[in-house]
Structure 1
Amino acid sequence: MSRRLVPLALTLALGLAPVVAVTTGATAGQAERRAAPSRTVDLPDGWQPEGVTTGRRGKVYSGSLADGSILRLNPRTNRTVVLPDSAVGKPSVGLDYDKRRRILWVAGGPEGEIRAVRLGTGEVLRTYTLPAAANDRFVNDLVVTSGAVYATDSANQELGVVELPAGLTLPPSGAATLLPLTGELVYQDGFNANGIVESNRGNWLVLVQSNTGRLFRVNAATGRTLQIDLDGRRVRNGDGLEAKGDLLYVVRNANNRIDVYDLKRNVRSGDRVKVIRTPDFDTPTTATVVRRSLWVANARFGVDDPETASYWLTRVDR
């Protein structure tokens, strides 16, 4: 497999920052020795991964931007299989696993939709479409909670919401509702709200604004946002988020790194405790926890001939 970086012209066209090597008083050799040990698992050529999540029994699921297919990986054996009914002909972007219903939720990107997908086959069970908006929709990522599915729209300052009944049934296909985002989050040019997770502290969601590098706490009931104080730091090109306890993993795509923050109890601030790098990252977009590891999707945005290019998942120690 080749490990080609994103060409500068295409990087700028995608709204991503060029990858810049950053040192903090260490030599290049020292930085290399600090790189996280990793391994990779190949995806089908032309897969174009974006979202990744963990399902039943620690299986990892990866979605394809190319045709919406979903792949299942067994991390114990590295065996992969594409779910037979998952190729819907439109992108699968962010993914999240619904433990109660044992299904996958899929963000539809430019299709402006949220899909509920059968875990074993990839069959689409329900489709919920966000109403038309001032800007073209881009449903980027989503998170399922006990009461609803919340999806970010990177172009419109609101979340798409699918309210979930108390039982295990799904609402019929139809229109998703909208939750306007108010407070301190202000959309700007480029990709805005991207990754989203649920905090384990109260009724809070956490999302990242990619173009400004800011994290926000979101009231899931009202949509009111509050910027999370990162002690002056930014997480520009923040893409997928993964939460484990009080730790928040922020995948920074064009920077080829994952920043790890310890969020405080009120989710108003966080301290950076680690930066994860490895040469096996190539525009990582999302990550999911499996036991003591992170499995990371490498989107390789801007690579030559994406329809035939090689793609892979990277495993790193948490």
Structure 2
Amino acid sequence: MHPRKLVLALAAVLATAVLAPPPATAQAFPDRLELPDGFLPEGIALGPGPTAWFGSRADGDIYEVDLRTGAGEIISQGPGTPSVGMKSDRHKRLFVAGGPAGDGRVVSSRTGEIIASYTFTRAASFVNDVVLTKRKAWFTDSSQPQLYGVPLRRNGRPGDPSDVVTLPLSGDWVQGTGFAANGITQTPDRKALLVVNSTLGELHRVNKRTGKTRKVDLGDTSLVNGDGMLLKGRTLYVVQNRLNQIAVLTLDRKGRSGRLVKVITDLDFDVPTTVASFGRWLYLPNARFTTPPTPDTPYWVTRVKR
């Protein structure tokens, strides 16, 4: 090739390389995380670190997701009954509520093996959600006015089934019909529990020793369809599942009163049930209760700003 033509050809190649867009790459920390088709998600446990776990209402499988990439896999085969509310601790343990099976279990997120299992009641029940406190893992029952407390030993090791306590709810609590106790967390001062009554739309402060409850003064704010909850400092996030929104409240230190600050919605919501946070983001699995489930029904997790 003539030297001048060679120079022109090289210049054209370089220009094309400069103008060509870089190769496509996957979005880091995607806004939407895909779950397996037909999975029927309900609960979420997140961290420590950018890892989340989701439970299946279909058969209790637990699915692990890397928040950085969205990649995931089943790490624990379910017992054939649902996995609903979940929490993780810093020792790689998942505490899982068993829904209508009336039970709960603790699963190793390292191996997927069941570390401990508990039958809370053999009566009609729906063990719905769980919160980890210093001395106990507390589970709600949406069908009965009571909580179940699993003792936690040194380093958060779950106690024996014989040591589980049943805490009847009294005071201002009205069981009513339909789902009652649903999401659960602690008060900002960590001295009491907060439980949302989904049907009545009330938030209750629960004495961990006696079970006596007092309705939290939220003014005219209703938490109807209240599901999973997340407490960050004195800010309480309450998922209102069928309303496709998150109520964000500021509480006083003792959790006796609060006020609505804002409501978070997103077009990607399709009956979100529970919530967990990583950094400035909230992650919510969409249960899609209004969509008939099939083996091919898609399910996903939505990420929104706090």
Q: 1:129 to 1:175 in 2, by over 3 A?
A: farther
Aligned to 2:86: 95
Contact 2:188/2:255 (8 A) holds in 1: no
Normalised TM-score (structure 1): 0.84
Q: Residues 1-318 of structure 1: matches in 2 within 5 Å? A: 39-83=31-75, 85-99=76-90, 101-133=91-123, 136-173=124-161, 176-318=164-306
Local SS of the residue matching 1:57: coil
Deviations 1:265-307 (A, max 9, x none): 2211111111100110000100101110000010001312343
Q: Structure 1 residues 127 and 60, CA, compared in 2 at 3 Å: closer, same or farther?
A: same
- 1:94-136 CA distances to partner (integer Å, 9 max, x unpaired)? 001122x330000000111110100123211111111334xx0
Q: Distance in 2 between matches of 1:242 and 1:306?
A: 30
Are the counterparts in 2 of residues 210 and 239 from structure 1 also a CA contact under 8 Å? yes
**Inter-partner Cα distance in structure 1 for 2:225 and 2:106:** 28
Structure 2 runs not aligned, ≥5 long:
1-29
Contact 1:131/1:176 (8 A) holds in 2: no
Structure 1 Cα separation of the partners of residues 78 and 122 of structure 2 = 25
In the alignment, the residues of structure 1 paired with residue 155 and residue 244 of structure 2 have an alpha-carbon distance, to the nearest angstrom, of 41
Counterpart in the other structure of 1:35? none
Runs of 4 or more, structure 1, over 6 Å off, are none
Q: Secondary structure at the match of 1:104?
A: strand
**Conserved? CA contact 2:187–2:253, under 8 Å:** no
What do residues 209-239 of structure 1 show as CA deviations (whole Å, max 9, x unaligned)? 0000000111112211111111111011001
Cα displacement (A) at 1:202: 3.7
Q: CA deviation at 1:141?
A: 0.4
User: Which residue identity does 1:211 align to in structure 2?
Assistant: T
Q: CA deviation at 1:77?
A: 1.6
- 8 Å CA contact 1:127, 1:174 repeated in 2: no
User: What's the secondary structure of 1:254's corresponding residue?
Assistant: helix
- For residues 46 and 157 of structure 1, what CA distance do their matches in structure 2 show? 32
Aligned equivalents of 2:238, 2:134: Cα separation in 1: 23
2:20 counterpart residue number: none
- CA displacement at 1:195 relative to structure 2: 0.3
Q: Which consecutive residues of structure 1, in runs of 5 or more, have no partner in the other structure?
A: 1-37
Greater C-alpha radius of gyration? 2
Aligned residue for 2:49, secondary structure, equals helix
Aligned partner of 2:7 in structure 1 is: none
Q: Which moved more, 1:139-148 or 1:54-63?
A: 54-63
Shift of 1:175: 7.1
Q: Percent identity?
A: 41
| CA deviation after TM superposition for structure 1 residue 199, in Å | 2.2
What is the SS of the residue equivalent to 2:247? strand
**Aligned mates of 1:221, 1:174 — CA distance in 2:** 18
TM-score normalised by structure 2 residue count:
0.87
Q: In structure 1, the residue corresponding to 2:274 is in which secondary structure? A: strand
